[in-house]
């Protein structure tokens, strides 16, 4: 069987986009960022209005929660780049275009809500945050597989779920019920985004199983969080992993494995030689991830024991 071109894939998947767009619109709940922000806690800052500058002591949320909130917000902030990526690849017409715009509008709400919350509660240094946003957005973002439809669908299926887990666990670590409620609300959106993309790739597995398997294998092998270009990301992601907000175990067991299970990748039939090779690569990668996750957990436990014995 000859491989389907990118254009053919987009055309063939258009009816699936339409069905899943209808489904999404039926289940997505309208919500308002302003309702999740404790505005009465706010105070005017220094600068033109002559209020009080931010100080470390303004907020009692744990350091690692701050770090995770900043990473999550900067990730949301880069939305113009993500929009560019998917609008260029999926197009702005028909059901694909409707989805691209709708998704962008929903994601825009996330950045608005989280920034309002952080500013009003003085949870993070607003000057450092704004500088980090400028740096991060100025660098832009490009998906490594940005000219391949199935690779991009596979990437966002994992990425939306990863983002969901990261938001939800960040909320938990803040110890602030208001922040937890906000991030749970955002996480619910990310979950619906994941379902949309996962359903599309499930249809691609029927349409072009070997191409879909290749896309998944490539994406699983070089997966990076969308915020990986953030200044100091490596250091920040270690702190985030040590706190159990997002670590390799969660990546393997709560993101990669469940999505692969939904696609039933190990029972897909009709694969050509490369499709079979891709599936073997996925199996090997899952084993590698399992070992790496266990190593990390052992190190984290040893570190916790050391800290406890001090």
Residue 254 vs 274, nearer CB to Fe ion? 254
Supply the minimum distance, in Å, between the C-beta of residue 163 and Fe ion. 6
Alpha carbon dihedral 135, 136, 139, 144, in 10-degree steps, equals: 160
Can you tell me the distance from the alpha carbon of 263 to that of 206, in angstroms, rounded to the nearest whole number? 10
Closest CA to 33 of 134, 173, 182: 182
Q: List CB contacts of 245: < 8 A, sequence separation 6 or more.
A: 64, 68, 166, 169, 170, 173
Burial label for 132, CB within 10 Å (0-12, 13-18, 19+), is buried
Of 24, 193, 251, 252, which lies in the binding site for Fe ion, with binding defined by CB under 5 A? 193
Q: List CB contacts of 201: < 8 A, sequence separation 6 or more.
A: 150, 153, 154, 157, 212, 215, 216, 263
Residue 157 vs 211, nearer CB to Fe ion? 157
Which of left, alpha, beta for 140 (phi over 0: left; psi -120 to 50: alpha)?
left
Of 107, 116, 176, 218, which lies in the binding site for Fe ion, with binding defined by CB under 5 A? 107
Residue 24 vs 279, nearer CB to Fe ion? 24
Query: Which range touches Fe ion (CB under 5 A), out of 101-109, 121-129, 168-176, 301-309?
Result: 101-109
Binding of Fe ion at residue 85 (CB under 5 A)? no
Phi, psi angle pair for 209, to nearest 5°: -55, -40
Q: x/- contact string, 152-191, with Fe ion (CB under 5 A)?
A: --------x-----------------------------x-
Residue 79 vs 293, nearer CB to Fe ion? 79
Supply the minimum distance, in Å, between the C-beta of residue 225 and Fe ion. 12
Residue 110 vs 249, nearer CB to Fe ion? 110
Query: Which range touches Fe ion (CB under 5 A), out of 40-48, 109-117, 239-247, 296-304?
Result: 109-117
Binding of Fe ion at residue 279 (CB under 5 A)? no
Binding of Fe ion at residue 116 (CB under 5 A)? no
Can you tell me the distance from the alpha carbon of 206 to that of 190, in angstroms, rounded to the nearest whole number? 25
Q: Which residues bind Fe ion (CB under 5 A)?
A: 107, 110, 160, 190, 193
């Amino acid at each position: 069987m000859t491989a389907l071109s990118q254009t053919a894939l987009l055309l063939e998947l258009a009816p699936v986009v339409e069905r899943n767009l209808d489904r999404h619109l039926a289940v997505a709940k309208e919500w308002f960022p302003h309702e999740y922000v404790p505005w009465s806690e706010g105070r005017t800052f220094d600068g033109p209005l002559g209020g009080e500058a931010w100080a470390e002591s303004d907020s009692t949320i744990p350091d690692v929660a701050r770090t995770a909130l900043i990473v999550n917000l900067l990730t949301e902030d880069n939305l113009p780049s993500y929009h560019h990526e998917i609008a260029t690849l999926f197009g702005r017409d028909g059901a694909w275009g409707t989805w691209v715009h709708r998704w962008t509008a929903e994601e825009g709400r996330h950045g608005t809500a989280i920034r309002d919350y952080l500013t009003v509660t003085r949870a993070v240094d607003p000057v450092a945050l704004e500088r980090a946003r400028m740096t991060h957005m100025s660098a832009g973002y490009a998906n490594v597989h940005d000219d391949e439809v199935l690779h991009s669908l596979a990437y966002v299926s994992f990425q939306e779920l990863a983002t969901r887990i990261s938001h939800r666990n960040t909320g938990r670590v803040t110890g602030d019920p208001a922040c937890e409620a906000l991030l749970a609300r955002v996480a619910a959106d990310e979950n619906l985004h994941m379902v949309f993309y996962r359903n599309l790739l499930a249809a691609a597995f029927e349409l072009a199983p070997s191409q879909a398997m290749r896309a998944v294998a490539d994406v699983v092998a070089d997966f990076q969080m969308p915020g990986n270009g953030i200044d100091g990301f490596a250091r920040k992601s270690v702190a985030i992993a040590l706190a159990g907000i997002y670590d390799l175990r969660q990546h393997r067991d709560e993101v990669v494995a469940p999505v692969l299970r939904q696609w039933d990748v190990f029972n897909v039939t009709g694969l050509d030689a490369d499709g079979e090779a891709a599936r073997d690569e996925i199996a090997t990668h899952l084993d590698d991830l399992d070992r790496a996750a266990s190593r990390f957990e052992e190190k984290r436990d040893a570190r916790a024991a050391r800290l406890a014995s001090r």
